[in-house]
Structure 1
């Protein structure tokens, strides 16, 4: 299991499958949202997908290399801990057990991208969504780990 995430997930033969599974993960996470803020997320997400079909897949594909780089240290720590004595834990559980550093690493990718953007609409929308982003990322960590492990295993 000591293969790097980069080697396992960014291979040209696997990349499309990884991106598709991550798009499904995002769809599922949005679908599971509830309450007033969940309704707003669902409405906005549906609108974005309707206005520009394929945008979610494209954004994931664009950011995948940086997300994998952000997750790599956590993957290597997971692999090292899995080789030690003790009950096996899946990568999703490992990520969920380390929510702060993992979510900060992932959000660092989008923070850097938003900071570089020249498009006011994108930076404005990102700044409005960013305060709740960490909570949403943390909620998605078990599923994210499952997708990563599926393709890296």
Structure 2
């Protein structure tokens, strides 16, 4: 298992990006109710404005995401799945990831920034819900 998550940038960046894009698609698809409809609408709008935005944004932010999660990776007890460790530290993990996306949104094109900002109030809940899948996707590649 790799000591540094940043090593994934050299060993399997495309695989990590692809798996995280699948996680994002699944999380959006799983949303229910009125807020779920808002998420799905904003997601579709972002993809319409820039096809492939999920993979390209994930690829662009991957170094910052991995750096943000490195302290949690370092503190993960042996034998504990990374997703479970992220859930156990959900506040820290979610805030670390949202710091990265907030920074990116501050320089995004207006239409993408508008879609992001419309969901930002509930973003932490969405990120926390995604942590098991995010952790599993990263660990899958880090364990190689």
TM > 0.5 fold call: yes
For 2:58 and 2:2, how far apart are their aligned partners in 1? 25
Moved over 4 A (4+): none
After alignment, is 48-57 or 132-141 more displaced?
Answer: 48-57
1:140 aligned to 2:140? no
Partner of 2:54: 56
Separation in 2, partners of 1:128, 1:55: 17
Q: CA deviation at 1:108?
A: 0.7
Q: Which one has a bigger Cα radius of gyration?
A: 1
Does 2:33 align with 1:43? no
- Report SS of the residue matched to 1:10: helix
Label 1:29 to 1:46 Cα distance change in 2 as closer, same or farther (>3 A).
same
Root mean square deviation of aligned Cα: 1.7
TM-score by length of 2: 0.90
Tell whether the 8 Å contact from 1:2 to 1:76 is kept in structure 2 after alignment: no
Match of 2:65 in 1: 67
Give yes or no for the alignment of 1:6 onto 2:6: yes
Unaligned 5+ segments in structure 1 are 83-87
Gaps of 5+ in 2: none
Query: Partners of 2:46 and 2:109 in 1: how far apart?
Result: 16
Contact 2:39/2:119 (8 A) holds in 1: no
Cα deviation, residue 51, structure 1: 4.1
Match of 2:88? 97
